[in-house]
Chain A
Amino acid sequence: MKPAPFDYLAPTTIEETLDVLAEHGDEAKVLAGGQSLVPMLNFRLARPAVLVDINHVAGLDGIEVAADSLTLGAAVRQRALETRLPGQLPRPSAWGLLPEAVGYVGHQQIRARGTLGGSLAHADPAAELPAAVTALGATLCLRSADGQREVGPDEFFEGFFTTCLAPEELLVAIRVPAWPAGTGTSFLEVSRRRGDFAQVAVAAAITVADGRITRAGIALAGVAGGTVHARELEDGLVGQAPAAGTFAELAADYAATLDPPPDVHGPAEYRRALAAHLLERALTEATGRSSAAAA
């Protein structure tokens, strides 16, 4: 057996889970799909005293599509985002960014167990789903035995594998707002092999009305110690007419501000070049889809 010894709890209700987390605090670790946590346990990088398995908790795997928001339970499997969600979405819909992004997460065997909330709470800087929910401006619903709070991605993701979740808190749901008509999305990624974490990934949602960009949500993975919300680029895009030259210039200018960590796959400059290229393509693809959406 590879992991260090731990005790195991499998609560069946959210309330019971919160009580358990309140009692065990940072001695406890929540086990959802286990696709990141179990490797960390096997490497003994994580040695929690108590594992709290939330796979049997009722009410964490719902998919609710309403006119103004899409609400996803934190334990919705990544595979469900890929197979069950698309058929439930209105067309066109900015929410389509989620199934698009999730196709890049690991492999099918990983997505079969991995969950949306697990990926968000793990906060890998190269992970796809944190970038997608950041671009879409989602709200994360956190609960503890003492109450609940809702935070945006900028507050939730604090950096390298770090979130604002307190030890006694549980991420229970993710609420994604509807975007206006005329919104198009794009998710693009470069990785060394199929299923690897992103060297660079770009998530974009862009609304075009009367020939001008009225709203933009853009986030990147793999270019820093955490998920990057490209606010300056969003600001630069709003008010512009979609045009290839504009996109190339804004993408290059923004990528030049990034300071990605060098690694075995290449120096920082390589990732900056990837980011500029992927941003330009994503802006072109998203606005192309938004004109299709508006038509």
Chain B
Amino acid sequence: MTVPPTTAPTEPTSAPGTTGRGSEQTMHVEDRPAVATPAAEKSIRVTVNGTVHERTVSVRRSLVEFLREDLGLTGTHVGCEHGVCGACTVLMDGEPIRACLMFAVQADGAEFTTVEGLAEGDRLHPIQQAFWDHHGLQCGFCTPGILLTTYDFLRDNRGADEAEIREAVSGNLCRCTGYQGIVRSVQAADETWER
């Protein structure tokens, strides 16, 4: 994967019913009233896989719902919705986080990488290829989260041993593989990913 460009292209069209960041929303600190008015909706601007998106969201829309339903990026999966399973793990400003434990409104200004941002066209990312080659997935539900956790881990670590890899993926539950294939896949990606 290439790091998302800092000057990202704006998405070509806005979805119907959305507004850009309206002037009434972009309030400067000095313009704020002493006690601000609570809002039930808010305009946000986020960068996902290098593309800028502007949307108005309900403040109780979770980030993972926003990614899946507003942006159509259904690669990020929703599992437990309380931070335990790790299926919704995405990178926020380069760091893995739980997309079910943030509201979309909190993502304003942030940059995200989801599983859709890993491959380049038809060419799988070396981590994805390693998971394919070494049976790192069965049903695939946990896989997007595990791929992004692995991306962050391997970016910062080389030559990790099995115990370190198991700890690195401990925040992502897989109920199919028993983790054997996952550990092998991470080890393989450690060798094949040029970084």
Q: Does B bind A? A: yes
Question: What does the 1/0 interface line of A1-41 toward B look like (CB < 8 Å)?
Answer: 11111111111110010011001000000000011001101
* Docked pose: A195 CA to B34 CA in angstroms: 41
Is there an interface contact between A23 and B35, defined as CB atoms closer than 8 Å? Answer: yes
Q: Which of B120-160 contact A (CB under 8 A)?
A: 149, 152
Is there an interface contact between A9 and B83, defined as CB atoms closer than 8 Å? Answer: no
Q: Which residue in chain A gives the minimum CB-CB distance to B96?
A: A109
Is there an interface contact between B58 and A1, defined as CB atoms closer than 8 Å? Answer: yes
Is there an interface contact between A34 and B170, defined as CB atoms closer than 8 Å? Answer: no
* Docked pose: A113 CA to B100 CA in angstroms: 12
Is there an interface contact between A20 and B95, defined as CB atoms closer than 8 Å? Answer: no
Task: Tell which of A50-58, A199-207, A257-265 binds the partner.
Answer: A50-58
Assess A39 versus B60: contact at CB under 8 Å? Given A5-B40, A19-B34, A107-B171.
Answer: no
Is there an interface contact between B34 and A16, defined as CB atoms closer than 8 Å? Answer: yes
Assess A35 versus B29: contact at CB under 8 Å? Given A20-B35, A112-B95, A112-B97.
Answer: no
A293 at the interface (CB under 8 A from B): no
Is there an interface contact between A7 and B39, defined as CB atoms closer than 8 Å? Answer: yes
Assess A8 versus B36: contact at CB under 8 Å? Given A39-B101, A107-B170, A194-B170.
Answer: no
Is there an interface contact between A50 and B106, defined as CB atoms closer than 8 Å? Answer: no
* Docked pose: A79 CA to B93 CA in angstroms: 14
A42 at the interface (CB under 8 A from B): yes
Q: Which residue in chain A gives the minimum CB-CB distance to B28?
A: A12
* Docked pose: A277 CA to B168 CA in angstroms: 28
A148 at the interface (CB under 8 A from B): no
CB neighbours (8 Å) of A34 from chain B are: 101-103, 106
Assess A107 versus B86: contact at CB under 8 Å? Given A2-B81, A12-B29.
Answer: yes
Assess A8 versus B34: contact at CB under 8 Å? Given A39-B82, A79-B95, A107-B171.
Answer: no
B105 at the interface (CB under 8 A from A): yes
Is there an interface contact between A8 and B103, defined as CB atoms closer than 8 Å? Answer: yes
Query: Can you sample 14 A-B contacts with CB below 8 Å?
Result: A1-B62, A9-B36, A10-B105, A16-B34, A35-B98, A38-B83, A38-B103, A53-B105, A107-B170, A107-B171, A109-B86, A112-B92, A112-B95, A113-B102
Given contacts A7-B38, A34-B102, A108-B171, 4 further A-B contacts (CB under 8 A): A7-B59, A39-B81, A108-B96, A109-B149
Q: Which residues of B contact A (CB under 8 A)?
A: 29, 32, 34-36, 38-40, 42, 58-62, 65, 81-83, 86, 89, 92, 95-98, 100-103, 105-106, 149, 152, 167-168, 170-171
